[in-house]
Amino acid sequence: MLMKKLLPYFTLCFALLLSSFIARPAADGYKVGDKATDFKLKNIDGKMVSLADNKAAKGYIVVFTCNTCPFAKAYESRIIDLNTKYAPKGYPVVAINPNDPAVAPGDSYADMQKKKYAFPYLVDESQQVAKTYGATRTPHLYVLTRQGNDFVVSYIGAIDDNSEDASLVKTKYVENALTEILAGKPATTNSTKAIGCTIKWKRA
């Protein structure tokens, strides 16, 4: 009898406990030096994209970004510029949108398709790639460097030191890192921080 009465509470507690695991992203993801696992995500042109596809790539600039975050918008043209500058040097941009469109309606696949980038803009529907990388916000950027068939994380963090105004930027963090990486050296500053929007995780 008592058990029967308490059952709904147990169920609730269990559901709460479970949801706390599902709703929260992994606290730790990749650190610099870690091997990045490849993924297979759908591009806005409908084709699937993996890191392994581009045999000529020396590495990638993987950026978790989206349509809706004001910081992602502020950095959009700077992300395009990164691709223009570094794709010819062997480091093209791969943009990944991890947001759940149910939480951020402007981040639906149809809305993503309005973007015309020269680089892939992939949808991370299960949010598994963002979780594996340890991405927490948009934009959140990772530089990967090819080592044989593997890709190793060489830089994590910010694009530069001024999100509001590109003309006031004093330190271009990712470009400084890429200059060293392209010269075959590890980046002196390989981890930086930036303010951004939390990734809109699926609600359990």
Partner 1 sequence: MKILRLTAFSVGIFLSAPALAQHVAVVKFPELQKRLARPTDTTYVVNFWATWCAPCVKELPGFEQLRAANSSKKVKVLLVSMDYASQLDKKVKPFVKQRGLKSEVLLLNEPDPNTWMDKLDAKWSGALPFTLIVNNKSQQRVTFEQELSPAELTAALQKFPK
Residues found near partner 1 in the complex (CB under 8 A): 24, 70, 104, 136-137, 140, 158, 161-164, 168, 170-171, 173, 192-199
CA atoms within 13 A on the CB side of 69: 23
The whole-angstrom separation of Cα 89 and Cα 106 is 33
Nearer to partner 1, 70 or 186 (CB): 70
Give the span between the Cα atoms of 155 and 175, in whole angstroms: 10
CB of 168 to partner 1, least distance (A): 7
Which C-beta is closer to partner 1: that of 60 or that of 173?
Answer: 173
3-state secondary structure of 1: coil
**Half-sphere exposure of residue 46: CA atoms within 13 angstroms, side-chain side:** 0
Tell me the C-alpha distance between 202 and 10, whole Å. 24
- Give CA–CA dist 43/63, Å, rounded: 14
Identity of the residue, 53 or 161, whose beta carbon is nearer to partner 1 in the bound complex:
161
Within 13 Å and on the Cβ side, how many CA atoms surround 177? Answer: 27
- Judged by CB, which is closer to partner 1: 140, or 146? 140
**For residues 117 and 43, is the Cβ–Cβ distance under 8 A?**
no
Q: In angstroms, give the least distance from the CB of 198 to partner 1.
A: 4
Nearest approach, Cβ of residue 170 and partner 1 (Å): 8
Q: How far is the CB of 72 from partner 1 (least distance, A)?
A: 11
When the beta carbons of 143 and 194 are compared against partner 1, the nearer one is 194
Q: Which residues contact 88 (CB under 8 A, 6 or more apart)?
A: none
Residue 76 C-beta: closest distance to partner 1, Å? 15
Residue with Cβ nearer partner 1 (94 or 104)? 104
Closest separation in Å from C-beta 177 to partner 1 = 13
